[in-house]
Amino acid sequence: MSTLEQGIQKQIADWLRSGEIELFIGYEAGTVPLQATPAFIRRPEDVGRLIWDATCENNLAVFLPRYKGKKVGIMVKGCDARAVVGLIQERQAVREDLRIVGVSCPGVVDPKKVAERLGVAVEDIEEAKVEGSQVLVDGQSLPLEEVIYDLCQACDRHNPIIFDVHLGEEIPEDPERDPFAHVREIEALSPEERWERFRQEVERCNLCYACRNACPLCYCNICFVDRTMPRWVYQTTRPEDVQFFQIMRTFHLAGRCVGCGACTRACPQGVNLRLFLDKLRKDTLELFGYDAGVDPEAKPPLTTYREDDYNDFIMG
């Protein structure tokens, strides 16, 4: 656990003291090893609780819609910053109301990978901490870069795109890194093989909705799965209900998902949601030249049209 840099703590305390913000959302040490927990700081004297290290996994932007209209400070990693941009675009947050501490992030630790390396269950990890580039766990030292999430190992957005105060040294992005390599593997399969891959992946889903709850862009007051008039889907773990939920959720995020990976990290069943969501991100990029979460002023492609669109449904 690393206490947040003094200069940043002071800035946050100043924002709270001056009334520029009434709440700062950051991270503090949690009770579960290798997982920091969200911290909601309202008093300048509490900023000492804030931490930053590779255990700060949650995308805190998920909390912004519920503080809409309030002046809020928030800590964001590179990927989280894109969700903040998405929320500003969708009028769920107002840039002027936010004070953003943006962190250049080398990656966050995946407790499941650590447990695998030790040959134990995640619940059996008793003592663990991140120190520099090492994870010190139950008397062993593991290189951090080997036990960060797969998404972080393929990350192309280490540095925040939006911030008022920056923390950490800028991390050079690797232009050779293909953020969609995992999607290309699936695209190379036949339609039948792709369906089988999807079927097998979502077979593990038990409809706990942790993915939806962790997603900053899943902010509907009533989710389609909870609606009863009309009822879109039955909340059973029959394959057809699970597949319908996954397909509907994925398409509801088409052109909106910023690829932060919070949903995949939150899944207790290890369902690789990135496979489906990143396919739509890749398509959106290739078909519309649109990368969600980059430009707060941009109009998402599914909410606008071009008068010179080549498709014949646009009337001249």
Alpha-carbon torsion angle 254, 260, 266, 267, nearest 10 = 50
Query: What does the block give as tokens for 236?
Result: 């059973």
- Specify the stretch interacting with ligand SF4 by CB under 6 A; choose among 90-98, 136-144, 172-180, 257-265: 257-265
The rounded distance, in Å, linking the Cα atoms of 156 and 100 is 20
Cβ closest to ligand SF4, residue 217 vs residue 233: 217
Q: Which one, 142 or 260, has the nearer CB to ligand SF4? A: 260
Residue recorded with tokens 């093989």: 193
Q: Cβ closer to ligand SF4: 206 or 304?
A: 206
Which among 21, 68, 60 is positioned nearest to 43, based on CA atoms?
Answer: 21
Per CB under 6 A, the list member of 105, 128, 167, 183 interacting with ligand SF4 is 105
Q: Which of residues 63-92 bind ligand SF4 (CB under 6 A)?
A: 77-79, 83
If you search the block for the tokens 């396919």, which residue do you land on?
279
Q: Stretches 102-110, 115-123, 174-182, 283-291: which one binds ligand SF4 (CB under 6 A)? A: 102-110
Nearest distance, CB of residue 310 and ligand SF4, angstroms: 29
Which of 35, 115, 137, 158 is close enough to bind ligand SF4 by CB under 6 A?
158
Kindly tell me which of 44 and 168 has the beta carbon lying closer to ligand SF4: 168
Query: Which one of the spans 39-47, 118-126, 233-241, 261-269 is the region binding ligand SF4 (CB under 6 A)?
Result: 261-269
Q: Which of 36, 167, 217, 280 binds ligand SF4 (CB under 6 A)?
A: 217
Q: Where are the alpha helices (DSSP H) in 103-260?
A: 111-118, 150-153, 181-187, 191-202, 210-214, 239-252
Interface with ligand SF4, residue 259, by CB under 6 A: yes
Tell me which of 261, 276, 284, 290 binds ligand SF4, using CB under 6 A: 261
Q: How would you classify the pairing of strands 72-76 and 23-28?
A: parallel
Residue 152 interacting with ligand SF4 (CB under 6 A): yes
Do β-strands 140-143 and 134-137 pair in parallel, antiparallel, or remain unpaired? antiparallel
Q: Which of 157, 167, 275, 280 binds ligand SF4 (CB under 6 A)?
A: 157
The DSSP annotation for 44-109 comes to GGGGGG-B-STT--S-GGGGGGGGTTS-EEEEE-HHHHHHHHHHHHTTSS-GGGEEEEEE-----B
Nearer to ligand SF4 (CB atom), residue 99 or residue 157: 157
Instruction: Please give the residues from 271 up to 290 whose contact with ligand SF4 meets the rule CB under 6 A.
Output: 271, 273, 277
Calpha distance 143→229 (Å, rounded): 52
Q: Which is nearer to ligand SF4, 8 or 262 (CB)?
A: 262
- Pick 20 or 203: Cβ nearer ligand SF4: 203
Which residues is 142 bridged to in the sheet? 135
Cβ proximity of 113 and 243 under 8 Å: no
Angle, vertex CA 208, rays to CA 203 and CA 211, nearest 5: 90
Binding site for ligand SF4 (CB under 6 A): 77-79, 83, 105, 107-108, 151-152, 155, 157-158, 205-211, 214-215, 217, 253, 257-263, 266-267, 269, 271, 273, 277
